[in-house]
Structure 1
Amino acid sequence: MTAAAPAPRRRPGRTTLLIAGAAALGVLAGAVTGYAVQYHRDPTPLPPLAQQKLVTPKALVPDDATTNKTINANRWHKTDDDISKLLIEAPGGAKIIEEPGYDTLDSFATHFERPGPALSDLASDSFRRVATEMWEEDDRVTEVRLVQFNDFAGANEFQRDQSGYMSEKKFAGNGGAAIPGVPADLGHVWVFSELREKPGYYPLRQSRAIVRRGDIVVEVFYNDKRGRNISQSDVIDLAKRQLERL
């Protein structure tokens, strides 16, 4: 028996394609109609982006009570006040060598190996002021300095310069250690590897911390007059306490 020839296959999806095409034309026609309607309508005004009449406080005439602080109240920071009051307090019973106060630029420059160039560099780096204090306890001398500049750039330059030579053998002779919670490039402490010796005197063990906070560079010198070992953590603690005061 001869098999019947198979019926030709029906093209799939033709009806579906026709319906889809009609739907697409309907959407397009609706969009065109919508644009045409909107085109003939008056534009809707947008709400104002800002108030037309702002209420501002009336300007006051300066009087005897007017100060630089009251004029710049919104931009005033506590480091614009008397920074000598921000120095950490000496421990009870310590011998005060220098009360908290200010050092002049000329006097401060004498602490450097080359006072003349140091004076010139500080002036060009927008040096503003330096507050210092010093005390002694159990043959250990602590000196704290707050060196402030007129801008961050000056403070950054000073901090980098002072930190840059500390690893040399003539000074600490080591890379020092970072202060916890402070980026390594903004603060470090060093305990000197070698004693400083001078005939007729006890050997001196030295340590130093240098850290910047804004436009102020904190310097801590912590030295033992009998050459005893200094714990790095003690120097870090002094530096962190001073940072908290700022």
Structure 2
Amino acid sequence: MYRDDNISDGQPEPPAGPPGPPAPADMPAPEEPPAPAVAGGRRPRGRTTLIIAAAALLGIAGGVAVGYDVQAGRAPTPLTALSQPDLAYPAKALPAARKPDPLPASQDRQVRTDGDLRKLVAPRPKGWEEDKLLTTLGWDGWLGVEDYALDFEDEDYMYGNLLDQGIRRVAGAAWKKGEYRTATVWLVQFRSGAAAAHHAEDQRSYMPRTDHGAGNEGTALKGSDNGRYYIFPADRKPGYMPVHHARAVFQRGDVMVDINVFDTAPISEKDIRTLAEKQLERL
């Protein structure tokens, strides 16, 4: 193998020491020990590597030059036409006589929910009356977001979560029937229908649990894609009257509906279903 003594390996030359005594004529010269390997050092670069690198560089430069020359000699490729034979919209605006009439409020859901949301609460059922306790406290049908969040166990989390989802406002009604039966109807409006559907799904997600939910899957609400109503087991504590609870949760457009009924007597599925169906029809 060819060896060039003029190529340095990058290591410093050892210092020259004093000359030793001459070796006897009949004694062979001692063999030089092999140079120790340098751990982690760079491999010395020889002439072969430099020649290959130079050839590769010249090849790349030559290829780029030839490529530019070939491309410059070609004719330019024409672009496709941007014009279309038929437009999807009329060239001129329609005359006033041919413009379609706007949807009536009964069919335009956005117009309905942009108005006074309190007017979309279903009428009070027969046999029920307004909760006079709330009336004396100045209840006007609007509920603050922080007050709505108080209905949940972790009100701080729910308050922040509602704001993150883009809650817009909450309207509702509170009714009373007989001595102990009460009902609340909350219309929780968001800035998008997706947020309203997400909040409704969040509430339905824990209903099958027994710690905070109804302990069952509930029953599908007819006429709603995602609505369900639930009957909770009675909450019985020594020294207190039993508390029965029923709930309905569904979403329509950008409004999520939350209906709750409480009583000391059992609540039938028909009672909560009737309230939910009337509210769904109203929306």
* Cα distance between partner residues in 2 of 1:176 and 1:49: 48
Provide the residue aligned with 2:235 in structure 1: 196
| Residue number among 150, 160, 163 corresponding to 2:204 in the alignment | 163
* Cα distance between partner residues in 1 of 2:144 and 2:273: 27
Provide the residue aligned with 2:116 in structure 1: 82
| Residue number among 212, 217, 242 corresponding to 1:175 in the alignment | 217
- Aligned partner of residue 142 in structure 2, secondary structure: strand
Give the AA of the match of 2:170. V
Instruction: After TM superposition, give the deviation of residue 52 of structure 1 in Å.
Output: 4.1
Deviation per CA, 1:77-128: give whole Å up to 9, x if none: 2011111111112235533114661111122111111111111100011111
* Cα distance between partner residues in 2 of 1:49 and 1:160: 39
Stretches of structure 2 lacking an aligned partner (at least 5 in a row): 1-84, 97-107
Which structure is larger by alpha-carbon Rg, 1 or 2?
2
- Aligned partner of residue 206 in structure 1, secondary structure: strand
| 2:146 paired with 1:106 | yes
Deviation per CA, 1:44-89: give whole Å up to 9, x if none: xx898865443567xxxxxxxxxxxxxxxx8942011111111112
Give the AA of the match of 1:94. W
Contact 1:87 1:100 in 2 (8 A): no
Matches for 1:1-246 after TM superposition, within 5 Å: 51-54=90-93, 76-92=110-126, 94-97=128-131, 98=134, 101-138=141-178, 139-170=180-211, 171-183=213-225, 186-192=226-232, 194-224=233-263, 226=264, 228-246=265-283
Deviation per CA, 1:23-63: give whole Å up to 9, x if none: xxxxxxxxxxxxxxxxxxxxxxx898865443567xxxxxx
Provide the residue aligned with 1:32 in structure 2: none
- Aligned partner of residue 280 in structure 2, secondary structure: helix
* Cα distance between partner residues in 1 of 2:113 and 2:200: 18
Contact 1:141 1:222 in 2 (8 A): yes
Stretches of structure 1 lacking an aligned partner (at least 5 in a row): 1-45, 58-73
How many residue pairs are counted as aligned between the two chains? Answer: 180
Greater relative CO (CA pairs within 8 A, separation 6+): 1
Distance change >3 Å, CA 123–CA 92, structure 1 → 2? same
Distance change >3 Å, CA 154–CA 52, structure 1 → 2? closer
Provide the residue aligned with 2:42 in structure 1: none
TM-score (norm: length of structure 2): 0.58
Contact 1:178 1:189 in 2 (8 A): yes
Distance change >3 Å, CA 93–CA 80, structure 1 → 2? same
* Cα distance between partner residues in 1 of 2:109 and 2:185: 27
Give the AA of the match of 2:253. G
Distance change >3 Å, CA 51–CA 206, structure 1 → 2? closer
Identity of aligned residues (%): 34
- Aligned partner of residue 277 in structure 2, secondary structure: helix
Quote the RMSD (CA, aligned, Å). Answer: 2.4
* Cα distance between partner residues in 1 of 2:244 and 2:130: 20
* Cα distance between partner residues in 2 of 1:50 and 1:178: 43
Give the AA of the match of 2:230. W
- Which structure shows the higher strand fraction? 1
Distance change >3 Å, CA 56–CA 243, structure 1 → 2? same
* Cα distance between partner residues in 1 of 2:186 and 2:148: 10
Give the AA of the match of 1:165. Y
